[in-house]
Amino acid sequence: MKKIAGLILMVIFMASCETEEKNPLLTEYDTPFGIPPFNEIENAHFMPAFEEGIKQQEEKIDAIVNNPEAANFENTIAALDYSGMMLNRVNSVFYNFLSSNTSDEIQDIAQEVAPMMSAHGDNISLNMELFNRIKEVYEQRETLSLTEEQAMLLKETYEGFVRNGAALPEEKQERFREINKELSLLTLEFGQHVLADVNSWKMFVEDEADLAGLPQNVKDAAAEAAAEEGKEGQWLFTLQNPSVMPFLTYADNRELRQKMNHAYINRGNMDNENNNQEIINKLIDLRIERANLLGFDSYAEFALDNRMARTVDNVSSLLNEIWDAALPIANEEAGMLQEQIDADGHDFDLAYWDWRYYAEKVRKEKYDVDEAEIRQYFEINNVRDGIFMVVNKLWGLEFTQREDVPVYHPEATAWEVKEADGTHIGILYMDMHPRASKRGGAWMSSYRKQHIDEDGKYIHPIITVVCNFTPPTGNQPALLSFDEMTTFFHEFGHALHGLLANTHYYGLSGTSVPRDFVELPSQIMENWAKHPDVLKQFAVHYETGEVIPDELIEKIMESSNFNQGFATVEFIASGLLDMDYHTLTTYEPFDVMEFEEEVKNRYNMMDEIYFRHGSTHFQHIFSGGYSAGYYSYIWAGVLDADAFEAFVETGDLFHQETAQRFREVILEKGGTKDAMEMYVDFRGQEPDIEPLLKQRGLVR
């Protein structure tokens, strides 16, 4: 009997080992640069990998807690930072897949993983024995000889535990856990609903006359999309940005513009199972309760407590100052567009589905600027090479495409990034065009963050940039709009923040900075994208190779502040909406559309402009980590406009000393120092709002 039992145990052990060996997520990556072996990873691997990652971290946490030695930085704070490396690896692959290569099966796994990860996070942050050790080290911080980075990791660890409920009495911790579990599922469901609406809504056009005004490349793309759906001879338009935005900008058919714009602003608010109104109510209720448990009156007070802005008053002051400057200009612009409508012989008032169309007509007439003409100078590969050129001139970085490494999707490309002397920095993935398996928008993420591991080995980053730019059609390559071009520069700035990170600890690496500081490295890159001297170095006609003419650049520059009233108002409106949701101190059930209307009335918002992100598809704040933080983009706008002045003041856009200082005190530092201190280290002073207002033409 003992022999049989032994054989059974051996079989179970061997089966267990075989399963683990077959799971590429749980083995050392035998690939160039230690890249995840995407071609070997199957959906069935994720749940066992999550379970094993959680198990390994739990064992490491137990070892920290049960360490008989007195708590110190290395055996508690650093050990905790190292404890979740396997889980971090699984997380990075899965959640990047969820965003950029999703499927029904992956979304089902996400529903299962979300509460599991929430519970695991709570098991760590609400572990009182662990917190007591962290607190013990924290209370000795003044007497410890810590480096600047170690001191920041200690501070962030202690405060992170407090913000995650560690200081709550035991009777409140159980409710805190329940709230976190519910929030994790609701935020996931919110984003899935938006993606489902985007993928399901389709507008087929049968009569070519209804396409009047649209550029040929837009019509070609729509024809190809319809053919793929089995509707040869028709044209298909969707809610993906490369489809909806050109339609709203160029289509003469006002009725169809209204239909499309209505669908676009009602993502997550359609009469189907994807309606997000109830989820928003639940999220706001739970966020208020969670903030109250932690001693804050509102979620916004909680969220801002560890950001640069610090207080609700500071954010409100910034938003209102810019709102007051932009609203009168937007009203002037509306009057200009109404004059165009009247001049065209129409008898209707300007509506939000008219704005982009008539703004483009006025822009073309006033400045003789044609977006379709501009696109011809921004072929996507030329823009990419232009970014490489800018980054090379600033920091000497070199980019080489690698065909010998795994890619997570056939449309993604992989690039090795090196220093000027050939030293390896990291790997960068780029994934540029929309597809059903990818959520909308543009973002940077990581498959591996830079850090120094427990054995002292320097770990190089693996970064990804994902966008939804206009795709190629027929024989025409992907031609980007001016906005898409600047977005490419923007996301590349985020990538640099991850690639050039040079920190010891994983938890402080790269973009691990306050939410309202993280947009500085991205937005400052837009300044080079828009500068005439830089444009002439990469913007060439995709057919003739002709450098963009000075005359066209001049028109672009002259028109750059045109429609800035609209752009600023629709953005700030969403920032105000975000803050109005998250400054609520008590919850009563509300109708989301009525809430939006109240916000519009409170700030005298004009009916001709809608929120850049309406509530039911506002993924930044309801499923994307920017809750009470959408203002961050305009806050960073103040930072980047002021920071770019440091280059302008030298008379050299690629001034080496200034560029190196920006790299060393901003890009490399991650979250190792207070954000405002880092900014002052670079600029020599706190930022001034005046450069931003001038940049946007909001001061006269």
Does some domain include residue 66? yes
Residue matched to tokens 């006002």: 254
| Secondary structure of residue 559 in the 3-state scheme | helix
How buried is 580 (Cβ within 10 angstroms: 0-12 exposed, 13-18 middle, 19+ buried)?
A: middle
Pair 126, 258 in one domain = no
- Tell me the CA distances in angstroms from 250 to 210, 246, 320, 613, one per residue in order: 11, 6, 33, 21
The stretch 575-590 carries a mean pLDDT of 98
Does some domain include residue 148? yes
Domain end, chosen from 167, 187, 222, is at 167
pLDDT at 693: 81
% of the chain exceeding 90 in pLDDT: 90
- Tell me the CA distances in angstroms from 673 to 72, 138, 147, 396, one per residue in order: 21, 17, 11, 25
Pair 160, 208 in one domain = no
pLDDT one-digit tens code per residue, 634-691 = 998 889 999 999 999 999 999 999 999 999 999 999 999 999 999 999 999 998 888 8
Q: Which of 12-21, 76-85, 327-336 has the lowest mean pLDDT?
A: 12-21
The stretch 350-375 carries a mean pLDDT of 93
Pair 222, 103 in one domain = no
Residue type, 491: E
Pair 148, 207 in one domain = no
Is residue 617 within 8 Å of residue 195, measured between CB atoms?
no
Would you tell me the crossing angle of helices 520-530 and 380-395 to the nearest 10 degrees? 110
Model confidence, pTM: 0.91
Does some domain include residue 648? no
Task: Count CA within 13 A, CB hemisphere, residue 437.
Answer: 17
Pair 18, 135 in one domain = yes
Average pLDDT, the chain: 94
Pair 205, 160 in one domain = no
% of the chain exceeding 70 in pLDDT: 97
pLDDT at 21: 60
| Secondary structure of residue 267 in the 3-state scheme | coil
Taking the alpha carbons of 669, 674, 678, 681 in that order, is the dihedral positive or negative? Answer: negative
Pair 112, 253 in one domain = no
Pair 9, 90 in one domain = yes
Does some domain include residue 294? no
Is residue 215 within 8 Å of residue 242, measured between CB atoms?
no
Q: What is the CATH number of the domain that holds 106?
A: 1.10.1370.40
pLDDT at 337: 97
CB atoms within 10 A of CB 541: 16
Tell me the pLDDT band of 6, cut-offs 50, 70 and 90: very low
pLDDT at 649: 95
pLDDT at 3: 45
pLDDT at 700: 58
- Whether residue 9 has pLDDT greater than 70: no
Does some domain include residue 242? yes
Domain end, chosen from 212, 239, 265, is at 265
- Whether residue 227 has pLDDT greater than 80: yes
CA 545 from centre of chain: 33
Pair 251, 161 in one domain = no
Pair 68, 216 in one domain = no
pLDDT at 7: 43
Pair 163, 14 in one domain = yes
Q: Which residues are catalytic?
A: 491
Query: Rounded distance, CA 441 to CA 438, Å?
Result: 9
pLDDT at 474: 83
Domain end, chosen from 248, 265, 282, is at 265
pLDDT higher at 2 or 139: 139
How buried is 679 (Cβ within 10 angstroms: 0-12 exposed, 13-18 middle, 19+ buried)?
A: buried
Q: For 677, phi and psi rounded to 5 degrees?
A: -65, -40
Which residues are CB-neighbours of 453 under 8 A, at least 6 positions away?
Answer: 82, 85, 459
- DSSP for 112-128 reads HHHHHHHHHHHHHHT-H
pLDDT at 688: 83
- Tell me the CA distances in angstroms from 639 to 322, 488, 517, 527, one per residue in order: 14, 19, 8, 12
Q: How many domains does the chain have?
A: 2
Does some domain include residue 51? yes
pLDDT one-digit tens code per residue, 523-537 = 999 999 999 999 999
Pair 40, 138 in one domain = yes
Does some domain include residue 280? no
The stretch 172-190 carries a mean pLDDT of 96
H or E element at residue 458: strand 458-459
pLDDT at 370: 86
pLDDT one-digit tens code per residue, 378-429 = 999 999 999 999 999 999 999 999 999 999 999 999 999 999 999 999 999 9
Does some domain include residue 97? yes
CB burial string 122-133: b at 16+ within 10 A, e below:
bebbbbeebbeb
The stretch 168-194 carries a mean pLDDT of 95
Give me the domain span that covers residue 130: 2-167
Query: Rounded distance, CA 574 to CA 38, Å?
Result: 37
Q: Which of 18-27, 121-130, 227-236, 587-596 has the lowest mean pLDDT?
A: 18-27
CB atoms within 10 A of CB 255: 10
